[in-house]
C-alpha cells in the first residue's frame, strides 16, 4: 500500500478545486498588475486580496500535490514512462517549476505586503515579472495536467 493511496481520488479532487481558486485569483491578479503598467492604481486593495487568496490556494495545491505524489508515482506514472515517455518530461517540468513557484509565491506575497505600487513604482521591476512568471508556471501546470489526464483517459 502506497502512502494515502486510499484517499487519492478525494485528495485529487480537493487539489483540483483549490487549483480553480488559484488560477482564478492569480489570473485576475495579472489583470490588475497590467493596470499598474498602464498607470492605473485605483484597485490596489482588490489586487492585494487576489495575492492573499492566491498564496494560500497555492500552498493548499502544493501540499496536497506533494502528499498524493507517491501514489501517482507508483500507480500512474509507470504507464506514461513505458507508453509515452515524453509525457513524463512534461510532468517533470511542471514539478520543477512548481517547487520554484512556491518560493516565488512567498516572495511575491511579502513583497506586495511591504510596498505601495503607486508610491514605489520602481519596485514594480520585480513585482510585475514575478506576476507574469507565476502565471506562466500556473498555466503550464494546468494545461499539462489536463493534457496528461486526457492522454491517460484515452488509452
Partner 1 sequence: MKKSDTTYIIGSIFSAMTAFFYCCTMWFPIKLPRYYPLEHTWKWVNEKGVPSQGWYGMQAFAFLAAGIVTLVVYFFLKRGGTAILAVFSRAGSPCHTTLTPAQTKILGVVVTLIIVVCMAYMLYYEFDKWGIF
Could you list the residues that contact partner 1 (CB under 8 A)? 2-3, 66, 69-71, 73-74, 77-78, 85-86, 88-90, 92-93, 95-97, 99-100, 102-104, 106-107, 110-111, 113-115, 120, 122-127, 129-130, 133, 137
Rounded Cα distance, 20 and 142, in Å: 9
Question: How far is residue 135's CA from residue 144's CA, in Å, rounded to a whole number?
Answer: 14
Whether 114 contacts 108, CB under 8 Å: no
- Nearest-approach distance from CB 111 to partner 1, in angstroms: 5
Residue 71 grid cell: 501514489
Judged by beta carbon, residue 40 or residue 96, the one nearer partner 1 is 96
Q: For residue 61, give the C-alpha cell.
A: 495545491
Task: For residue 64, give the H/E element and its range.
Answer: helix 44-71
CB of 140 to partner 1, least distance (A): 9
Cell of 138: 500556473
Nearer to partner 1, 16 or 93 (CB): 93
CB of 26 to partner 1, least distance (A): 16
CB of 147 to partner 1, least distance (A): 13
CB of 137 to partner 1, least distance (A): 8
For the beta carbon of residue 63, count every other beta carbon within 10 angstroms: 14
Alpha helices (H) in the chain, listed in sequence order: 8-37, 44-71, 77-83, 85-114, 124-153
* Residue number with CB closer to partner 1 (3 or 31): 3
Q: Smaller CB distance to partner 1: residue 85 or 153? A: 85
Amino acid at each position: 500500500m502506497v502512502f494515502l493511496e486510499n484517499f487519492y481520488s478525494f485528495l485529487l479532487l480537493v487539489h483540483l478545486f483549490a487549483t480553480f481558486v488559484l488560477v482564478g485569483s492569480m489570473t485576475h491578479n495579472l489583470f490588475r498588475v497590467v493596470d499598474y503598467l498602464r498607470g492605473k492604481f485605483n484597485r490596489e486593495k482588490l489586487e492585494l486580496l487576489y495575492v492573499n487568496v492566491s498564496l494560500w490556494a497555492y500552498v493548499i495545491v502544493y501540499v496536497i500535490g506533494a502528499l498524493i505524489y507517491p501514489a501517482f508515482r507508483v500507480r500512474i506514472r509507470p504507464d506514461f514512462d513505458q507508453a509515452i515517455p515524453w509525457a513524463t518530461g512534461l510532468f517533470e517540468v511542471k514539478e520543477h517549476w512548481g517547487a520554484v513557484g512556491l518560493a516565488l509565491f512567498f516572495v511575491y506575497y511579502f513583497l506586495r505586503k511591504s510596498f505601495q505600487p503607486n508610491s514605489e513604482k520602481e519596485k514594480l521591476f520585480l513585482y510585475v515579472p514575478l506576476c507574469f512568471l507565476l502565471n506562466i508556471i500556473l498555466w503550464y501546470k494546468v494545461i499539462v495536467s489536463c493534457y496528461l489526464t486526457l492522454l491517460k483517459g484515452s488509452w
